[in-house]
Structure 1
Amino acid sequence: MLHDIWLALRREQTLALRNPAWIGIGIMQPILYLVLFGPLMERIVANTPGFPPGSAWVILTPALILQLGLFSMFAGFGILADLRTGALERMRVTPVRRMALLLGKVFNAGSQLLVQALLILVIAVIFFDLRAPFGGIMLSLLIVVLLGIALASCSYALALKLKSEEAFIPLLNTILLPVLLLSGILIPITTGLAPGWLYTISRINPFTHIMDADRAAFRGDFALDALFTGCIVLVVMTALSVWWGARTFQKENA
């Protein structure tokens, strides 16, 4: 099984390395947020009560890294391309296990996400005076990679169900917009900032708890309930997403 996963992963990484520009394109939006929104965030945090502890960069940087993880929902376009060109059909007749084909794809998405997150961190440390504990940064990277694996698995499952870019695009937009707004990625949704009804709705969103855990890790607050809750939510979400993706992958490619 491990050999099959490695073969599938190597194939996906070979294809990705033929067009490495996509890694740079993926981080352009977070970099623009750092450059254009970060200085505003510094003043907002300094003059507005209700923000979580820490500097503006400790609040904003993990959010932008987590935003990269949310964009893993677009991974399904790759499998739609494989369906259209017949590449998936050719892989299906090989002796490589179906589960390995899926895991190779999601691990490739996770590895690309890790590279992008590291680039964002380096830029934030060098140019924007980000200061965070090493252990917190490592935990944050683990959080975003697991999130990327979970959402890539969901994306592949949805793409295989729909089998259409025309249906896939509006569905992603419908899902991602409320998730982004309610997770507190740009402006944290706290009791001191948000009205009660908005705060209550945000607590229903699992990504809010993951975002809180990511920010807690960056602050080095490893004893917080928010960190524990967010990590539990993430682990459960990852397990269920990979299970759903694997089941759909095997069913649709039987």
Structure 2
Amino acid sequence: MSQTVTPSPTNFEKLQTEGAIETPPSSGLAAFRQEVVALTRRLFIQLQRRPSTLIAGIIQPVMWLVLFGALFQNVPQGLFGDSQNYGQFLAAGVIVFTAFGGALNAGLPVMFDREFGFLNRLLVAPLASRFSIVIASAIFIATMSLVQSAVIIGMSAFLGAGLPSAGGLAVVTAIVLLLVLGVTALSLGLAFALPGHIELIAVIFVTNLPLLFASTALAPLSFMPTWLQFVASLNPLSYAIEPIRYIYTHSNWGFNDVVMQAPFAEITMSTALLILVGFSTIGLMSIRPLLRRSFA
């Protein structure tokens, strides 16, 4: 007569039963969500240990507002379009460039993870999707950018730039998120493609100031020579700056309103938003082949 022997549960199974170890989710969507949450939490833990990153990211744009606003406070009214003062004109540029700078630096943590070997371990892990690395970085940078933008908007209102309406603030938030998503994807692509952090830092330094001055952040298109007007009209930052600036200067704004007189066309607010959507989509699509790479 044979006797059936029931194997005793292993320690791992006991821990799972007791809830000490979380059972991995069965569905791909749940696994992807769990990966995004874990990777995002790791970035916020790093920020908690080094809060100087956020503090410096808030102090710098406030200094831009105060110093540049004071530098041009005596310019004749109407010189910078419909803006009541230069602080109101500058606020949109500071919001966008702060978000852009933070997103451009998004690749640095990934590059350091790559150099220290953590990224390789992550890439060989049974991830539901490597795209979770991109989404986690985008969530982290977007949160940082929204905090910085809130401080900039509050400070600019204190300095006399005014405060957009609730609908205007919603559009400003959407513009910041679209810009952050696209630039973060491009920065992460550079972190995967470049050989080391020295090269990535060099690209960041070389890119920052030219894109700032070749945009409408500091001066309107009408102040620029013709060739620079074309360059600024092709700069994605201008398509984020001008809608925000229009919202600041027009309380009764609409999506069909012209926000920028480019040399080749009149750009409406809806057109600018569509261009930002396309820019973010291109950024996300361009990084997909690089996510399949493995590193020695």
Q: Which moved more, 1:174-183 or 1:127-136?
A: 127-136
Contact 1:58 1:130 survives alignment (8 Å)? yes
The match for 1:65 among 95, 103, 107 is 95
Contact 2:153 2:163 survives alignment (8 Å)? no
Question: 1:61 and 1:98, CA in 2 relative to 1: closer, same or farther beyond 3 A?
Answer: same
Q: Are residue 14 (structure 1) and residue 76 (structure 2) matched?
A: no
- CA distance in 2 between partners of 1:34 and 1:69 (Å): 15
| Equivalent residue letter for 1:44 | V
Contact 2:115 2:196 survives alignment (8 Å)? no
Question: Which residue of structure 2 aligns with residue 169 of structure 1?
Answer: 201
- CA distance in 1 between partners of 2:52 and 2:160 (Å): 24
Mind listing any 5+ residue stretches in structure 1 that lack a counterpart?
none
Contact 1:102 1:246 survives alignment (8 Å)? no
Contact 1:65 1:120 survives alignment (8 Å)? yes
Question: 1:214 and 1:127, CA in 2 relative to 1: closer, same or farther beyond 3 A?
Answer: closer
Contact 1:217 1:227 survives alignment (8 Å)? no
- 2:216 alignment partner, SS class: coil
Alignment of 1:134-213 (within 5 A): 134-190=166-222, 193-213=223-243
Q: Which moved more, 1:8-17 or 1:107-116?
A: 8-17
- 1:44 alignment partner, SS class: coil
Question: Which residue of structure 2 aligns with residue 227 of structure 1?
Answer: 269
Contact 1:213 1:228 survives alignment (8 Å)? no
Q: Which moved more, 1:20-29 or 1:212-221?
A: 212-221
The match for 1:248 among 286, 290, 293 is 290
Q: Which is higher, the Rg of structure 1 or of structure 2?
A: 2
| Equivalent residue letter for 2:141 | A
Q: Using the TM superposition, give the Cα deviation of residue 252 of structure 1 relative to its aligned residue in structure 2, in angstroms.
A: 4.2
Percent of paired sites with the same residue: 23
Mind listing any 5+ residue stretches in structure 2 that lack a counterpart?
1-31, 259-267
Contact 1:184 1:211 survives alignment (8 Å)? yes
Q: Which moved more, 1:133-142 or 1:152-161?
A: 133-142
Greater than 4 Å deviation, 4+ residue runs? none
Give the root-mean-square deviation of aligned CA atoms: 2.1
Q: Which has the higher helix share?
A: 1
Q: Using the TM superposition, give the Cα deviation of residue 104 of structure 1 relative to its aligned residue in structure 2, in angstroms.
A: 0.8
- CA distance in 1 between partners of 2:116 and 2:144 (Å): 23
Q: Are residue 55 (structure 1) and residue 84 (structure 2) matched?
A: yes
- CA distance in 1 between partners of 2:278 and 2:51 (Å): 32
Q: Using the TM superposition, give the Cα deviation of residue 166 of structure 1 relative to its aligned residue in structure 2, in angstroms.
A: 2.1
- CA distance in 1 between partners of 2:48 and 2:181 (Å): 19
- CA distance in 2 between partners of 1:184 and 1:171 (Å): 22
Question: Which residue of structure 1 aligns with residue 116 of structure 2?
Answer: 85
Contact 1:42 1:55 survives alignment (8 Å)? no
- CA distance in 1 between partners of 2:238 and 2:294 (Å): 32
Contact 2:156 2:162 survives alignment (8 Å)? yes
- CA distance in 2 between partners of 1:134 and 1:145 (Å): 17
- 2:220 alignment partner, SS class: coil
Question: Which residue of structure 2 aligns with residue 24 of structure 1?
Answer: 55
Q: Using the TM superposition, give the Cα deviation of residue 23 of structure 1 relative to its aligned residue in structure 2, in angstroms.
A: 0.8
Q: Using the TM superposition, give the Cα deviation of residue 218 of structure 1 relative to its aligned residue in structure 2, in angstroms.
A: 2.6
TM-score, reference length from structure 2: 0.77
Question: 1:32 and 1:138, CA in 2 relative to 1: closer, same or farther beyond 3 A?
Answer: same
What is the aligned residue count?
A: 250
1:15-71: per-residue Cα shift (whole Å, max 9, x none)?
A: 2222222111012221111111113333225263xx231323331111101011220
Contact 1:162 1:168 survives alignment (8 Å)? yes
Contact 2:182 2:283 survives alignment (8 Å)? yes
